[in-house]
Structure 1
Amino acid sequence: MGRGTHQFFGECKSEIPVSVDEVIANLAVIFHWKPKDCEDFEIDELMQWHERAKARNEVQS
């Protein structure tokens, strides 16, 4: 069972980020945001933006 591939109740849609800092760094790269722009996000909102950033990055690649 690899990291990010399974959850308690089944399959995970994507890799689990290593840390919140990694998510914020990804948002900074994709959306050109400063880390401070993300500091008021709740974790669920942060993860929603991370999913959007990943989707946008896949389209650009």
Structure 2
Amino acid sequence: MTIEDVIKKSILPLAFMVFWFWMTKTIMKVSGKTDLFWWIFLSGLPFGIHKMRLILIPRGMDT
């Protein structure tokens, strides 16, 4: 594994996740407090949709 692979497969996705969590937390601040439910919902949305699709519509099965 080269340094390029390490950067592409671990550092960039981690940096994106940190940025995404920070951005959604900043957006969700209402009067100085973060609405925890909506922050968890919005920050997990891009990561959970793919897994939901895999669970609900398995490959090789009839829908």
Same fold (TM over 0.5): no
Structure with greater helix percent: 2
Which is higher, the Rg of structure 1 or of structure 2?
2
Larger relative CO (CA 8 A, sep 6+): 1 or 2? 1
